Amino acid sequence: MGGPSMSGEGMLPPRSERPGRKQPSRSQLAQRRLLAGGLLVVFFGLALWLGVSALGGSGGDDEAAPVATTAAPAAPVLRVVFPEGYDRDQMVARIGEVRKIAIGRRKITPKLNAKGYRAATEAAKLPQQFRADARGIEGFLFPATYEFTASTTAKQLVGDQLEFFGQNFAKVDLRESKKKNLTPYDVLIIASMVEKETIAPDERPKVAAVIYNRLKAGMPLGIDATIRYGLKVPGTEALRVSQLESDNPYNTRNRTGLPPTPIANPGLASMQAAAHPADVDFLFFVRKPDRIHHFFTASEDEFYAKACEYGFGCN
Alpha-carbon distance of 255 to 278, in angstroms, equals: 24
Last residue of a domain, one of 147, 169, 191: 169
Segment (H or E) for 241:
helix 241-244
Both 102 and 236 in a single domain?
Answer: no
Contact 193, 203 (CB under 8 A): no
Q: Say what the pTM is.
A: 0.80
Beta-bridge partners for 81: 145
Scored b (16 or more CB within 10 A) or e, 134-164 reads beebbbbbbbbbbbbbbebbbbbbbbbbbeb
What would the pLDDT profile of 213-238 be if each residue is shown by its tens digit?
Answer: 999 999 999 999 999 999 999 988 98
- 54 has a pLDDT exceeding 50: no
- 75 has a pLDDT exceeding 90: no
Both 181 and 72 in a single domain?
Answer: no
Both 204 and 290 in a single domain?
Answer: yes
Q: How confident is the model at residue 60 (pLDDT cuts 50, 70, 90)?
A: very low
Segment (H or E) for 294:
strand 294-297
69, part of any domain: yes
Pairing of strands 39-42, 145-148: antiparallel
Both 181 and 150 in a single domain?
Answer: no
Number of domains in the chain: 2
Both 153 and 266 in a single domain?
Answer: no
Tell me, what's the pLDDT at 105?
92
Both 161 and 70 in a single domain?
Answer: yes
Tell me, what's the pLDDT at 76?
85
For residues 277-295, average pLDDT: 96
Which among 102, 113, 59, 60 has a CA at the least distance from the CA of 77?
102
1, part of any domain: no
9, part of any domain: no
Both 158 and 206 in a single domain?
Answer: no
Both 182 and 146 in a single domain?
Answer: no
Last residue of a domain, one of 122, 147, 169: 169
Residue 71 to residues 20, 74, 79, 174, 199, Cα–Cα distance (Å): 18, 9, 17, 38, 34
297, part of any domain: yes
Tell me, what's the pLDDT at 6?
59
Write out the residue range of the structural domain in which residue 197 sits.
175-309
Q: How confident is the model at residue 8 (pLDDT cuts 50, 70, 90)?
A: low
Contact 195, 211 (CB under 8 A): no
206, part of any domain: yes
State percent of the chain over pLDDT 70. Answer: 76
- 51 has a pLDDT exceeding 90: no
Q: For the chain, how many helices (H) and strands (E)?
A: 11, 5
Tell me, what's the pLDDT at 92?
99
Q: What is the DSSP letter of 41?
A: E
